[in-house]
Structure 1
Amino acid sequence: MTAAGIGVDMLEISRMERVMRRRPNFLRRVFTEEERAYCERSARPAEHYAARWAAREAVVKALGCGFGGGVGIRDVSVTRDDRGSARARLTGGAAKVALEKGVVEVALSISYTRDVAVANAVAVTEAVKPKPDARADAARALAASFREAKSVLDELERVEDAQMALPIDTLAPDMTAVASTALPTNRPSTEE
């Protein structure tokens, strides 16, 4: 699968802890309010800040641009989707680079151990973006047609049951005479 780019970055959590102690304004200058709120709610905020820093670096590597040259440190941030998964948010220069390269999405994975935060980013273009599975669509259409056919058969069965419950002379009054003369009997034949 060809993608616009792949980026990976790692950061020792102890380095982030040192920066946080020495430069208290660093967090406000670099991270968005959303990111700070998320990180500060955790038991070990430095892990999450380090993961978000690594994510920024991985994303610009995937875009092939780095910071500088019109791409600022806050042009890449980490947000969360409605399922809670990390997502890259591009603004400013980073969004411009992505647009120029035809990047429609940046897939992001962040993780950490006790010591290291790591992030992987894949810049995806429309040409390589996964398409909905055509087989799944065909299976859904087939299942819908089976449901519709079953509904028709159920209705036919209901109508047939209703007709069977009626007396025969109600269905075809002139058939009773025909039925009594036309039906074969079990009497032995006298002709040979």
Structure 2
Amino acid sequence: MSTNFTSFGFGQKGAQAVVIHPDYLYAVLDKSTYEDYACKVSARNKKTYRYMHNAITRNSLFRAKDKAPYADELEQPVYLDPLARVEQQQKKKNTFEFSAKNIQSKAYVGEVARKTAEALASLNKSSKGVGVDVELLSAINLDNETFIARNFTPEEIAYCRGSSNPQASFTGTWSAKEATFKALGVPSQGGGASLIDIVISRDANGAPKVSLTGDAKAAAKKAGVKNVNVSISHDDYQATAVALSEF
């Protein structure tokens, strides 16, 4: 079976699969290869059954995590680099964690993305009223009309759909909204909160600018924020936005 799994963003997943019937698959194997494979499958099944039996009888099927899979000093790099990956620990085969070496590995993260993550992490730690956000270009599902209408104004939608790369435009605009929210320094209303009150438009030169309405405007006023400036950039993989609040 050949599979190609695709992320549509925001919890929605899709998959494409080409399935080959076992009769055809095993027919191309010689007897010794097939028997060797059958022994491995049997061993895996026995190991799986033993694990499940022990987990059920000992009431340990669910194991709550008591710490994040990264050290405190790696929190910013993990959050700011959407291409960061966990790796299996050598001493603990069933443990997967982030490591500094893994995050900076060129096998996953390009040099530009790595330097961007480092710069933004440093900026975000040291500056008040600064918001940064990095998103994979695939983060926005353009087919999710409910999400689009809930978080983007008609003017934003028209601009993004009319651009040469709607996927990059939507993702960059979303990243700018997220960065602006972080720059305001106000409490989050949860991952499902709408960001339509943060409006990202473009001036005559095409530069992005922020205007706030509704709850976002009220929150900014309460926080003493007079204005927010934002910058957006993207490469072939991700969009990056930096927002600066003026007090």
Shorter-chain TM-score: which interval? 0.5 to 0.7
Q: Distance in 2 between matches of 1:93 and 1:100?
A: 11
SS of 1:20's partner is: coil
Q: Give the counterpart of 1:8 among 118, 128, 132.
A: 132
Deviations 1:96-117 (A, max 9, x none): 1211222111010011111101
**Tell me, what secondary structure is at the counterpart of 1:68?**
coil
Deviations 1:124-167 (A, max 9, x none): 11xxxxxxxxxxxxxxxxxxxxxxxxxxxxxxxxxxxxxxxxxx
Contact map agreement 2:202 2:209 (CA 8 A) in 1 = yes
Instruction: Report the Cα distance in structure 1 between the residues aligned to 2:214 and 2:242, rounded to whole angstroms.
Output: 21
* Counterpart AA for 2:229: A
Kindly report which structure 2 residues correspond to 1:32-111, keeping only aligned pairs within 5 A, or say none: 32-68=153-189, 72-111=194-233
User: Equivalents in 1 of 2:233, 2:172: separation in Å?
Assistant: 7
Aligned length: 120
| Residue 4 of structure 1: how far off its partner (Å) | 5.2
Which secondary structure state, in structure 2, belongs to the residue aligned with residue 38 of structure 1? helix
Segments of structure 2 that go 5 or more residues without pairing to the other structure are 1-125
Q: Percent identity?
A: 36
SS, match of residue 230 in structure 2: strand
How far apart, CA to CA, are the structure 2 residues paired with 1:33 and 1:87? Answer: 16
Q: Aligned partners of 2:195, 2:188: CA distance in 1, in Å?
A: 6
> What letter is aligned with 2:228?
V
Question: What does residue 116 of structure 1 align with?
Answer: 238
1:155-186: CA deviation from partner (whole Å, max 9, x where unpaired): xxxxxxxxxxxxxxxxxxxxxxxxxxxxxxxx
Residue 161 of structure 1 is matched in structure 2 by none
TM-score, length-scaled by structure 1: 0.57
Q: How many angstroms apart in 2 are the aligned matches of 1:89 and 1:35?
A: 12
> Is contact 1:67-1:73 (8 Å) kept?
no
Q: 1:30 aligned to 2:151?
A: yes
Greater gyration radius? 1
Q: TM-score, normalised by structure 2?
A: 0.45
Q: Secondary structure of 2:177's partner?
A: helix
Contact 2:200/2:209 (<8 A) preserved: yes
Higher helix residue share: 1
SS in 1 for 2:206: coil
Secondary structure, aligned partner of 1:88: strand
How many angstroms does 1:66 deviate by?
5.0
Q: How does 1:105-184 map to 2 (within 5 A)?
A: 105-125=227-247
Which consecutive aligned stretches of 4+ in structure 1 deviate over 3 angstroms post-superposition? Answer: none
Contact 1:56 1:76 in 2 (8 A): yes
What is the one-letter code of the residue matched to 1:38? Y
